[in-house]
Amino acid sequence: MGCDGGTIPKRHELVKGPKKVEKVDKDAELVAQWNYCTLSQEILRRPIVACELGRLYNKDAVIEFLLDKSSEKALGKAASHIKSIKNVTELRLSDNPAWEGDKGSTKGDKHDDLQRARFICPVVGLEMNGRHRFCYLRCCGCVFSERALKEIKAEVCHTCGAAFQEDDVIVLNGTKEDVEMLQTRMEERRLRAKLGKKTKKPKAAESVSKSDVSEEAPGPSKMKAGKPEETSLDSREKKTSSAPRSAAAHGSSSGKVGKPLCGAPKRSIADSGESEAYKSLFTTHSSAKRSKEESAHWVTHTSYCF
């Protein structure tokens, strides 16, 4: 059973001992966190977004993940908390002028410096390679080092000037303690948003119900203005009945006959008991009538008659 042909086995080849714990290379871990997408494991390329736990993603990878509604979708821990595109923030990153990328190592004979990063802090100038703690603001998406926040204390963003609070500061690729703290903040924020939506819905329903009630129940103006036909008929009857009374009273008091009403028969001014001077003002008076001798005897002719 083996050991033929002059082979000399050793103990570690025949006896199975305890397995050694594999240690993760820290440099490789930092490169994977800061240069590759957490969801698709591809190289980060703009536009780059970050979630509320401080993980970096490619925006197109997040959109594809959200659009994939199949049951076979691989829902990992890295993206289980992302429910919509609003849960991520697009980052405003500052390019590192000293970063050459893959241009200098086209032949494969050049050492890749892992300490050199694509982006830097625009305030202090530290490179975003994982050796220094970086953070971003949820309100504007600007990225800068944590040292810049501590050295230049302000309530306004150092790059764009937007106002922010302590809750808006999110550490990128933080430790376990940082992730736990950010997760509690995220849950509290989403709970407040849900409660705010629930309080807005009853208020909207109350306003709609009040408007419906106001439309159905007639107001005081509508109650007074009800049955316009009846009120108009009553007012007409009152006016017609009061008109002859006022005219009769006026005529009896002054002795003069006023203007005839719409329904009353017309009377000539000659038959009235007015004075002759008053009657002469009208064309029906005898003085206004001309005789045949006084009337004109000339006739006008047009050119068409000749």
164-173, 239-248, 267-276: range with highest mean pLDDT: 164-173
How many other CB atoms are found less than 10 A from the CB of residue 34?
21
Q: Are residues 88 and 189 in the same domain?
A: no
Element housing 50 (H / E): strand 48-50
How many structural domains compose the chain?
Answer: 2
Task: Return d(Cα 257, Cα 51) in angstroms, integer.
Answer: 98
Six token digits for residue 68: 């994939």
Q: Is the pLDDT of residue 174 over 60?
A: yes
Give the pLDDT confidence score for residue 166 in this predicted structure: 87
With CA atoms as reference, report the closest residue to 100 among 118, 115, 82, 86. 118
More confident residue, 256 or 70: 70
Give the pLDDT confidence score for residue 306 in this predicted structure: 47
Q: Is residue 12, in this structure, part of any structural domain at all? A: no
Burial class for 80, CB neighbours closer than 10 Å (0-12, 13-18, 19+): exposed
Q: Are residues 92 and 186 in the same domain?
A: no
Q: Is residue 274, in this structure, part of any structural domain at all? A: no
| Minimum mean pLDDT range among 17-31, 44-58, 104-118, 185-199 | 104-118
Domain extent at residue 72: 23-99+113-173
Give the pLDDT confidence score for residue 7 in this predicted structure: 77
Q: Are residues 57 and 130 in the same domain?
A: yes
Task: Return d(Cα 236, Cα 234) in angstroms, integer.
Answer: 5
Q: Are residues 72 and 188 in the same domain?
A: no
What is the mean pLDDT of the segment spanning 244-249?
Answer: 48
For 97-136, the pLDDT digits (tens) are 888 776 655 565 555 665 678 899 999 889 998 889 999 9
CATH number at 148 reads 3.30.40
Burial class for 86, CB neighbours closer than 10 Å (0-12, 13-18, 19+): exposed
Q: Is the pLDDT of residue 137 over 90?
A: yes
C-alpha dist (Å) from residue 163 to 138, 157, 166? 11, 6, 11
Task: Return d(Cα 51, Cα 78) in angstroms, integer.
Answer: 10
Q: Are residues 122 and 196 in the same domain?
A: no
Q: Is the pLDDT of residue 230 over 80?
A: no
More confident residue, 181 or 295: 181
Q: Are residues 134 and 92 in the same domain?
A: yes
Confidence of residue 203 (pLDDT cuts 50, 70, 90): low
Six token digits for residue 189: 């924020």
Q: Are residues 56 and 181 in the same domain?
A: no
More confident residue, 127 or 248: 127
Q: What are phi and psi of 136, to 5 degrees?
A: -140, 160
Q: Is the pLDDT of residue 256 over 90?
A: no
Give the pLDDT confidence score for residue 222 in this predicted structure: 46
Q: Are residues 77 and 137 in the same domain?
A: yes
Q: Are residues 44 and 181 in the same domain?
A: no
Q: Are residues 184 and 88 in the same domain?
A: no
Q: Is the pLDDT of residue 171 over 60?
A: yes
Give the pLDDT confidence score for residue 145 in this predicted structure: 92
Q: What are phi and psi of 210, to 5 degrees?
A: -65, -40
Q: Is the pLDDT of residue 87 over 80?
A: yes
Q: Is the pLDDT of residue 294 over 70?
A: no
Give the pLDDT confidence score for residue 248 in this predicted structure: 46
Query: pTM to 2 decimals?
Result: 0.57
| Minimum mean pLDDT range among 109-118, 168-177, 199-208, 243-252 | 243-252
Residue labelled with tokens 């959109």: 63
Q: Is the pLDDT of residue 259 over 80?
A: no
Question: Across all residues in the chain, what is the average pLDDT?
Answer: 75
Confidence of residue 210 (pLDDT cuts 50, 70, 90): low
Q: Are residues 61 and 195 in the same domain?
A: no
Six token digits for residue 151: 């050295």
- Cα torsion 277, 282, 285, 289: sign: positive
Confidence of residue 63 (pLDDT cuts 50, 70, 90): very high
Q: Which residues of 150-171 are buried (b: 16+ CB within 10 A; e: fewer)?
A: eeeeeeebbbeeeebeeebebb
